Amino acid sequence: MSKLKTRFPRDRREWSFILEKNPYSGSWNMAVDDFLFCSLSDKPQTYLRFYGWKRPTASLGYSQDIRRVLDVEYCQKHGIDIVRRMTGGKLVLHSREVTYSLCSSDSRTFTSTLADSYRLISQALIRGLEKMGLRPCLADAPPVSYVRGNLPCFSYPARDEIEVDGKKIIGSAQKRTGSRFIQHGSIPLEEDDILLEAISLLEKNKGEVRMVSLSQALGRQVSFDWTVECLTSGISEFFNVKLTPKKFNAHERKLISEIEQERYANPDWTFGVRLPKLP
């Protein structure tokens, strides 16, 4: 087991836990994450969510130029959805995976910096991966060519992302406004590197994707439910929290739908004609 130690108090706090067992469209998934981020109060509050995708979906970082990174015609021809995230980062293909999001205004737990909160979440995810029998570790800084270029997210692990045997196993991105932040990330269950190469405009001879799926790392197929069970156990143990299930009520779903139509199902947002300012 990991030697990572927590610095959290013995009093057990409570987080809201959202488990979406039914997959949803990319635009809905992004709208839910946006809603959770916007609904954070000034008081310490945290949401943890796990979800899947109804169809293969290419997601762009907030500031990415779609014309430089994605073969839109290929995606449209082969039924691959396209969304633009509220977070930064690089191109990600979401398909056979578990996706997590963690939204919080609890600076007591996560501190007030992006780097610290990112590292803490990675350490908690490592605890969950260890429960699967893996030996993950935090990555060092990637090459400058990756940071400045248009390589897909899983080409290299970024600093403090998680790798197994030198290959990225979880890709994450974060947005922070004051004490509030959202971090979400992709945890592939099965490899999709061929499809990722097909949708990316990266030159094929430069397209090495240094990623590994859970099934590859473990040498067997794994399920969505089992993966979420291990990760939630590791996260709750690391942060010493109780996860209380939350369901969206009718009013909340209406607000999520409005966010979806305004942004994530809006071609102007997706294709970058104009990007409305986020809260």
Position 229 in a domain: yes
**Max alpha carbon distance in the chain (Å)?**
54
Position 278 in a domain: no
> pLDDT at position 279, please?
53
CA-wise closest residue to 61 among 30, 86, 29, 33:
86
Cross-strand partners of 176: 181
* Number of domains present in the structure of the chain: 1
Position 270 in a domain: no
3-state secondary structure of 38: helix
Beta carbons of 82 and 270 less than 8 angstroms apart = yes
Position 249 in a domain: yes
Cross-strand partners of 155: none
Position 224 in a domain: yes
Position 277 in a domain: no
Query: Who contacts 127 (Cβ-Cβ below 8 Å, separation ≥6)?
Result: 2, 4, 234, 235, 237, 238
Per DSSP, 175 falls in state E
Tell me the whole-structure pTM to 2 decimals: 0.87
- Is position 153 annotated as part of the catalytic site? yes
Structure tokens belonging to residue 276:
């409305």
In this structure, the strands spanning 180-188 and 167-177 are antiparallel
CA-wise closest residue to 231 among 122, 96, 92:
122
DSSP-assigned states of every residue in 47-106: EEEEE-BSS-EEEE-TT--HHHHB-HHHHHHTT-EEEE-SS-S--EEESSEEEEEEEE--
> pLDDT at position 29, please?
98
> pLDDT at position 193, please?
85
> pLDDT at position 140, please?
79
Annotated catalytic residue, options 75, 103, 153, 230: 153
Query: Which range marks the domain in which residue 188 is found?
Result: 13-265
> pLDDT at position 208, please?
58
Position 274 in a domain: no
CATH of the domain at 247: 3.30.930.10
Per-residue pLDDT of the chain (279 residues; tens, 9 = 90+): 444 455 555 567 899 999 999 999 999 999 999 999 999 998 999 999 999 999 999 999 999 999 999 999 999 999 999 999 999 988 999 999 999 999 999 999 998 888 999 999 999 999 999 999 999 999 875 444 444 455 544 444 567 789 999 899 999 999 999 889 999 999 999 998 889 889 998 755 454 557 899 999 999 999 999 999 999 999 999 999 999 999 999 999 999 999 999 999 999 999 975 444 555
**HSE-up (13 A, CA, CB side) for residue 150:** 17
Position 150 in a domain: yes
> pLDDT at position 237, please?
96
CA dihedral 130, 13, 16, 175 (to 10 degrees): -70
> pLDDT at position 158, please?
61
> pLDDT at position 71, please?
94
